[in-house]
Copies of this chain bind each other. A is one copy, B any other.
Amino acid sequence: MAKLPEILKKTIVAQSRFFTVEALHLRFSNGVERHYERMRPSTRGSVMIVPMLDADTVLMIREYGAGLEDYTLALPKGALDDDETVQQGANRELQEETGYGANQLTPVKAMSLSPGYMGSRIQVVLAEDLYSSRLDGDEPEAIEVVPMKLSALDEWIWSEEVSEGRSIAALYMVRDILRARAGVETDEA
């Protein structure tokens, strides 16, 4: 693998309440120099939860996205509060967005958003052994919780309403994990 480019300079070129744009002056290991812009990475971690109500039922949420100006069907997610662990943050977001908590919270994989110009990473957490529990979030309207069957993922994944790349990735990864686990249990039986 190539040696990492040297960062010659970082400059803030635009800033709003929530976003900061940085210009990066880079020198690649072959001597070529480039100027790039990127969103400054958030210092807070974030989590995406795959809540399994039973071995085949995943809870998704239908929520308005101001970026798309439309409702989408996606997995619950959110930013960690200060001092929260991944599991704590995942269980809080889960209770705020679905009305369930989870006794079992398993980190699955960290994913990036768009490596070229964003530093964001999100930790996918498999949530199992759910119990009813609601926490108040900051949502402007009630979030619709939509139970979907992982065994029929091949059919509904093509719906236009299911569009977010990271949700699609997390659903497939968890389907494979649960299938492998069921396979092992079947083999052992």
Q: Give me the interface of A with B, judged by CB distance under 8 Å.
A: 1-2, 4-5, 7, 13-19, 21, 23-24, 26, 28-30, 32-34, 36-39, 41, 62, 64-72, 74, 109-122, 140-141, 144, 154, 157-158, 160, 163-166, 168-170, 172-173, 176, 180
A148 to B20, alpha carbons, bound, how many Å? Answer: 36
Residues of B within 8 A of A70 (CB): 4, 115
A120 to B163, alpha carbons, bound, how many Å? Answer: 11
Q: Name the CB-closest residue of B to A24.
A: B66
Given contacts A18-B37, A112-B163, contact A119 B68 (CB under 8 A): yes
Given contacts A140-B32, A180-B154, contact A117 B169 (CB under 8 A): no
A165 to B122, alpha carbons, bound, how many Å? Answer: 9
Taking the closest CB of chain B, its distance from the CB of A183, in whole angstroms, is 11
A120 to B113, alpha carbons, bound, how many Å? Answer: 12
* Docked-complex contact B116 and A65, CB < 8 angstroms: yes
Residues of B within 8 A of A39 (CB): 19, 39, 67
